[in-house]
Structure 1
Amino acid sequence: MSIASRIVVIGVDNEFRHDDGVGWAVIARLEERTADRPLPPGPVLETFVGDPGRLLGLREN
């Protein structure tokens, strides 16, 4: 039996709590990088604020 895995990179920040913004900055940099050096096929890049239930949907799409 084979279990398929999916890579999801999630930048977590909350602008209302005055976070440092590193999570979103990492996602932005990875998105910029893909123009010159594409990531391997399949990874999903997402930013996240608030509702943890949204994270569950990321692994299924």
Structure 2
Amino acid sequence: MGRGRAKAKQTKVARDLKYRTFDPDFSDLQRELHGEDGEPIPDQYAELAERPDLADRFKDRDAS
């Protein structure tokens, strides 16, 4: 017992997510995920940026 209330809440949240309309700002999301333009790579990640297998992930941020 007690599962009914939790299931009702999950159903309510699922319906809300399914039928809600929203306009996502993808440019804002991209800035958040990639950092601001010209932001240098932190020292703790600099050695990762130099690795050949990971360098392509950082090459667009090497604007400095």
Tell whether the structures are fold-level matches, with TM greater than 0.5: no
Please classify the TM superposition score into its range, dividing by the shorter chain length: under 0.3
Q: Which has the higher contact order (CA 8 A, sep 6+)?
A: 1
| Greater strand fraction, Structure 1 or Structure 2 | 1
Per the normalisation by structure 1, the TM-score is: 0.26
- Is the radius of gyration larger for structure 1 or structure 2? 2
